[in-house]
Amino acid sequence: MFFKLPRRAALAAAAVATAASLAGVLTGTAQAAPQPIVGGSTTTTTAYPYVMQITDASQNQFCGGTLVSPTKVVTAAHCMVGETTSSVRVVGGRTYLNGTNGTVSRVSKIWINPSYSDATNGDDVAVLTLSTSMPYTTLPYVSSSETGVYAAGTTARILGWGTTRSGGSSSNQLRTATVPTVSDSSCSSSYGSDYIASDMVCAGYPEGGVDTCQGDSGGPLIINGKLAGITSWGNGCALAGYPGVYTRLTTFSSLVSAQVNS
């Protein structure tokens, strides 16, 4: 969805290909095949009950979300662009995309951060108000003062039904993985002025291989048992040198609380 780096991305892709083939030549080893979320393992909504599918009216999943109160779901603003309260459903307790179980709720209100314009400009947060309460455990979210959670190298958990490689197909089963947070300076080196440290945080391994991907957007980045980020954007998926970019939730915690408590 976000290939706003045309020239740089083309150069980067060439550089990655060169580095990869060089590594292959030097070590004589084949590159490991990417695995789903990219690089994760299957899990269930029993293990992560606050992870919601955001679907269209036909219950086709297109984004993720996090249940932070029985009737409030935090997701990405870019997931809600063009959506209306009648076009969206939230599905809880459904591990499989092709399942019919769990709880389906309509949405009575879509709040999109009014400052949002594009994921690479930041402000990528939205809060949905559900018509039906979800009977699932909620996940607390970070307060505005908890900025220490993003210290470089902190382990963060990602979850979603997104594609298991860039351009691939979605995972029928919920997947999860852990990735280390990345420093602002390192992420700025990757993404230049598209990385806005006040609004975003990066997570991923320098060598890539584990990442969120298309369809994971809106879902949680969990640090120390709290919702600390929202899957937002990246250059490709799981590429070396290009970590995933997540909404820095501490920046938007007060805005989210205003919606959650409304």
Shortest Cβ 88–ligand ARG spacing (Å): 15
Query: Exactly one of 170, 231, 251, 253 binds ligand ARG (CB under 6 A); which one?
Result: 231
Looking up tokens 């309509």 gives 106
Taking each continuous run of H as one helix and of E as one strand, the counts in the chain are 5, 13
Tell which positions 83-112 bind ligand ARG, by CB under 6 A. Answer: none
CB 212 within 8 A of CB 242: no
Which ranges constitute the DSSP H helices of the chain?
Answer: 6-27, 36-39, 77-80, 184-191, 249-260
Closest CA to 252 of 121, 83, 55, 115: 115
Nearest-5° Cα angle at 230, 102 to 220: 40
Closest CA to 103 of 130, 128, 126: 130
Nearest to ligand ARG of 1, 14 (CB atom):
1
Looking at residue 7, its amino acid is: R
**2 makes contact with ligand ARG (CB under 6 A):** yes
Nearest to ligand ARG of 62, 136 (CB atom):
62
Confirm whether 124 is a catalytic residue.
Answer: yes
Query: Exactly one of 215, 220, 256, 259 binds ligand ARG (CB under 6 A); which one?
Result: 215
Confirm whether 253 is a catalytic residue.
Answer: no
Shortest Cβ 64–ligand ARG spacing (Å): 8
Confirm whether 145 is a catalytic residue.
Answer: no
**213 makes contact with ligand ARG (CB under 6 A):** yes
Closest CA to 184 of 151, 216, 230: 151
Strands 72-75 and 61-69: antiparallel
Shortest Cβ 232–ligand ARG spacing (Å): 7
**216 makes contact with ligand ARG (CB under 6 A):** yes
**201 makes contact with ligand ARG (CB under 6 A):** no
Closest CA to 198 of 240, 242, 251: 251
Tell which positions 138-197 bind ligand ARG, by CB under 6 A. Answer: 162
**199 makes contact with ligand ARG (CB under 6 A):** no
Total residues interacting with ligand ARG, rule: CB under 6 A: 15
Which amino acids are annotated catalytic? 78, 124, 217
Q: What residue ranges bind ligand ARG (CB under 6 A)? A: 1-2, 162, 211-217, 231, 233-234, 237, 244
